[in-house]
Amino acid sequence: MSLGYVRPARPEDAAEIARIQLATWRVAYRRLLPRDVLNDLDEASLAERWDAAVRQPPGDTHRVLVAVEQAEQSYLVGFAASGPADAEALAPNEPADALGADVVAVTDLLVEPRWGRRGHGSRLLAASVDLWRESGFDRAVAWVFEGDQASRKFLTTAGWAPDGAGRALDVDDMLVPQLRLHVAVPTEPPPAG
């Protein structure tokens, strides 16, 4: 029998977070992003960025959480990163104050595909929501690729909905459309059981 749980990321997790990100992107986005872009991603550079995010977050409410599957051994299987909404969370031509200080932005929420459908994404999201509530955030936003049906379904099943904002990322001369989803952060934790 296996057990899954979520904990704050540690500096020694950075390389594994980068590996998970790379493996997940190469599977989940293989039909959305140019192959050469995915092939050229550098795992060592990603690990350095995650190490910095864990060791020196820009602020107290920037969080990186990891999902762990524990059986005979423990495996890092996913991660979530979030922080106060900044310019990266805005839609094109949206005013700088459009989202407000009470909005948190999810920058990453990934579970390695081979560990999917075991509750890790839900645990990551629930743990994130608890932290957002404690930090006083009222609403959360996340950009998803329009073609990423799995992420869209996961978030909309959890109560997220499009907020009407869209953008297109220029990835190696290919425009990849995204839409922004949002959800209210509940003021109280859900009842136990």
Note every long-range contact of 90-98, with CB atoms under 8 Å and residues 24 or more positions apart, other chains counting: 91/165, 91/166, 91/167, 91/180, 92/167, 94/165
CATH number belonging to domain 4-184 = 3.40.630.30
Which helix (H) or strand (E) covers residue 141, if one does? strand 139-145
Q: HEC string of 156-183?
A: HHCCCEEEEEEEEEEECCEEEEEEEEEE
Average pLDDT by consecutive 10-residue portion of the chain (193 residues)? 85 96 90 86 94 95 95 89 96 93 96 80 96 96 94 96 94 90 87 63
Q: Quick check: 66 and 120 in contact, CB under 8 A?
A: no
How far apart are the C-alpha atoms of 135 and 2, rounded to whole Å?
A: 31
Residue 42 CB partners (closer than 8 Å, separation 6+)? none
What pLDDT score does 192 carry? 65
Residue 171: other Cβ atoms inside 10 A? 14
What pLDDT score does 140 carry? 98
Full-model pTM:
0.92
- List Cα–Cα distances, 137 to 26, 83, 160, in angstroms: 32, 10, 15
Segments making up each domain of the chain, as ranges: 4-184
Q: Quick check: 169 and 186 in contact, CB under 8 A?
A: no
Looking up tokens 């990186």 gives 64
Output phi, psi for 48, to 5 deg. Answer: -60, -40
